[in-house]
Structure 1
Amino acid sequence: MDRAMATLAERGVALHAFTTPQRVTPQTQSVVRSSPDLYYALCRYDFGDRAARLAVRMGHWPDYQSLAFFDARTDNFATLRGTGRRIAIRLLPPRSAPEEGAIVSPTTRGVILIRRLAPTAERFAAAAEAGKADACTFEPVSG
């Protein structure tokens, strides 16, 4: 809560008074709100001082699914749609040289989010089964 209070103060929200916030839009919304129609899977990452990259894999799902990357400031810096297909990609630490088929993270820490459309209990169970093909693992950088 201390962190939340500091963040609100930084955004100009007054103490002990109502502050009129900005209208919520995709540009001003800083937190993704959960939907009951979606299955979510999260992977936290922290490159620290490692000479490594993150291998990220999202398994097949026949309906809507996406793979979203959020930095330490909760900014969404990349989103890939994967409806009806698998996605495999590498996530590189900040200041890395670009590589084909890779995304460079703007911060050393962050979160990767998979969303799958699963509006019923049966579809949610199926999405959980599909999630067994998802992976988020460090691989050393050779060289």
Structure 2
Amino acid sequence: MRRLFGPLAALLVSAVAAHALTLHFAPAVIMDRAMAALAERGVALHAFTRPQRVTPQSQQVVRSSPDLYYALCRYDLGAEGSRLTVMMGAWPDYQSLAFFDAQTDNFATLRGTGRAVSVRLLPPGSTPAAGAIVSPSARGVILIRRLAPDAARFAAAVRAGEADACRLETVSG
């Protein structure tokens, strides 16, 4: 029995270390691949991309809800003095503005049912300011969801999406 203790302990330590490393590094790898896939699909950097209606044929990774309008904006706040101004136009039904960092974490979600929402996204390490959110990473994705359960509501959501904005700004000093 004593001869087995050493190898079993080494195996257990190795398994725990491999598990911990996977949990630590997997989200960044997943987000890097997602950001590259979004870029290949034409999702703009610092601009919301007008979505197509979700169908089983349009799904590549995750089964999105066919009842929702989705608009995406990739962002990169790595340049000195950069920040993002994000605006979500008014919509009478459910809508949300969700922010995801480079680790795939949803670090902020704002609801805007019946009203427009405007917020400034600041780079990591920034001092929080009124009406602003500090991103935990320089890169990430912003997602707008609007309830649009049929073709007519989806068309209306597309029109409402014309008021959406995701603009990079650079401030000096």
TM-score (normalised: structure 2): 0.64
| 2:158 partner SS | helix
Cα gap change, 1:73 to 1:33, in 2 (>3 Å):
farther
Q: 2:109 aligns with which of 79, 93, 96?
A: 79
More strand by share: 1
Which ranges of structure 2 fall in alignment gaps of 5 or more residues?
1-20, 24-60
Computing the radius of gyration over CA atoms, which structure comes out larger, 1 or 2? 2
* Within-5 A mapping of 1:26-65: 33-65=63-95
Render the CA deviation track for 1:104-139: whole Å, top value 9, x for unaligned: 000000000000000000000000010000000011
Partner of 1:94 in structure 2? 124
Partner AA of 1:106 in structure 2? P
* 2:22 pairs with 1:10: yes
Cα gap change, 1:91 to 1:32, in 2 (>3 Å):
farther
Q: 2:167 aligns with which of 132, 137, 140?
A: 137
Structure 2: how far apart are the matches of 1:35 and 1:133?
23
Partner of 1:19 in structure 2? none
Q: Give the CA deviation at 1:32.
A: 7.0
| 1:133 partner SS | coil
Partner AA of 1:137 in structure 2? R
More helix by share: 2
| 1:34 partner SS | coil
Partner of 1:23 in structure 2? none
Structure 1: how far apart are the matches of 2:22 and 2:82?
34
Q: Give the CA deviation at 1:142.
A: 4.1
Q: Give the CA deviation at 1:140.
A: 1.8
Q: Give the CA deviation at 1:10.
A: 2.1
Q: Give the CA deviation at 1:33.
A: 4.8
Query: May I ask how many residue pairs the two structures share in their alignment?
Result: 116
Structure 2: how far apart are the matches of 1:105 and 1:32?
24
Question: Percent identity between the aligned chains?
Answer: 74
Partner of 2:153 in structure 1? 123
Q: Which has the higher contact order (CA 8 A, sep 6+)?
A: 1
Which ranges of structure 1 fall in alignment gaps of 5 or more residues?
1-8, 12-30
- Considering only aligned residues, what root-mean-square deviation do their CA atoms show, in Å? 1.7
Q: Give the CA deviation at 1:48.
A: 1.6
Q: 2:135 aligns with which of 105, 108, 125?
A: 105
